Amino acid sequence: MAGRDPDTGADSAAGDGVRVAVVGAGAVGVTAAHDLAVAGADVTLFDKGEVASGASGRAAGVLYDAYAEDIDAELGARALERFRALSGTGDFSFTECPYVMLAREGDDDLAEAVRGAAERMRVHGREVETVDGDELGERFPSLRTGDVAVAAVARNAGWTDPGSYVTTVADLAASAGAEIRTDSPVAVSTAPPGVAVASEAPVTRRFDAVVVAAGAHTKQLLADAGVAVPLKPYRVQAVVSARSFDGPMWYDASAGVYARPHPTGLLAGDGTVPVEADPDDWDRDADDWFLADVSETLRERAGHDPDVERAWAGLCTATPDGDPLLGEVADGVLVAAGWQGHGFMRAPATGEAIAGQVLGEGGGIAQFDPGRFDGDEEFEISEGMAVETDDGAENRS
């Protein structure tokens, strides 16, 4: 008898007889594999490395639904719902923590943009308040707020360890029947859909559907299959300080730096390098200039002189309009990539959405349809967290 999964809402018989390959064992890939397996599909999840060895394992773990755009807010809310439902399973935990986005005095355009973004967030039902520097300091004494012109405070937020989400959901996917093949580089084919596993070449395994959620490697995988998509990988950076921090998550939009509590102290980042990176040959260590800049901001904003425990770089993927590519790019071949630095925090919802599209349970998300691009667009990489101002700068928060 068919049933419905209480967390995903998936019909346990919807995928009966459907053979699906998922390429990429990051947060979106394991979520899609899990939901498809729960729905009864015959799922094989491939990754060229280990589970969580890519961008998801290097993500910051900041989670919120405080978005100014309606579809982003909807996906953020659904993702938080699933993060909370999963908390306590395996090694995964979700820690409630407010999120603050602020602009400094003298940054008039940015301050107005923060006010406007907060208003749009409230229109979409998000629990976001707008406060001045004095009130912000009263609420969060751990922050230095004398130079703050305005702040938006989102209560529906929290943080987690991204790697623990990916490994936990991968285990659940395996328990639901998905086959997980790590250390298995593949090539994607489109006619008919399938994958050729490097260790099994030249044999191509046929599937009813192939979902490519391979992060920075997505563009090349699809190009090799004759499908062009406008994606550019780029480096972002983060650091963990071993010195304690008892405060909210915050993003100083004027400085372009975010921070959150961390089990060993504090995690901070952004360090965007707006240059296309080679996904097979890039610097995984944090740059000296980033460490200097982020340290200065931490001292200014939180009186926090970092004791660097570790610092690293990860890869995000950009698109021409800052929205992801989520949907079909050829018959039976779907893409899920281009998160502009917001991929992990929405992964439970976007993985769910792409699984639903495979199963024919929904028409996809029109705003994210890859068909809006030809695939050969020229574009500049922009910071994923920048707040939109009248002069065209953009923030997807």
pLDDT at 17: 84
Q: Rounded distance, CA 133 to CA 141, Å? A: 11
Residue 174 structure tokens:
């395996």
| 166-183 b/e (C-beta count within 10 Å ≥ 16 → b) | bbbbbbbbbebebebeee
Q: Rounded distance, CA 243 to CA 285, Å? A: 21
Closest CA to 186 of 173, 170, 207, 200: 200
Pairing of strands 186-190, 193-197: antiparallel
Contact predicate 154/99, CB 8 Å: yes
What's the residue count for the chain? 397
Integer Rg of the chain from CA: 21
Q: Rounded distance, CA 359 to CA 18, Å? A: 8
Q: Rounded distance, CA 82 to CA 85, Å? A: 5
Residue 385 structure tokens:
């967290």
User: Residue 155 is which amino acid?
Assistant: R
Structural domains of the chain, with CATH: 19-58+162-230+320-372 (3.50.50.60), 99-154 (no CATH), 232-318 (3.30.9.10)
β partners of residue 20? 43, 209
pLDDT at 13: 65
Q: Rounded distance, CA 152 to CA 161, Å? A: 24
Assign 358 to helix, strand or coil: helix
| pLDDT (tens place) for every residue of the chain, 397 residues total | 234 455 555 555 667 889 999 999 999 999 999 999 999 999 999 999 999 999 999 999 999 999 999 999 999 999 999 999 999 999 999 999 999 999 999 999 999 999 999 999 999 899 999 999 999 999 999 999 999 999 999 999 999 999 999 999 999 999 999 999 999 999 999 989 999 999 887 889 999 999 999 999 999 999 999 999 999 999 999 999 999 999 999 999 999 999 999 999 999 998 899 999 999 999 999 999 999 999 999 999 999 999 999 999 999 999 999 999 999 999 999 999 999 999 999 999 999 999 999 999 876 899 999 999 999 999 999 876 656 655 444 444 4
pLDDT at 1: 27
| 320-342 b/e (C-beta count within 10 Å ≥ 16 → b) | bbbbbbbbbbbebbbbbbbbbbb
pLDDT at 15: 73
pLDDT at 167: 97
Contact predicate 154/63, CB 8 Å: no
pLDDT at 10: 55
- Other beta carbons less than 10 A from residue 64's beta carbon: 28
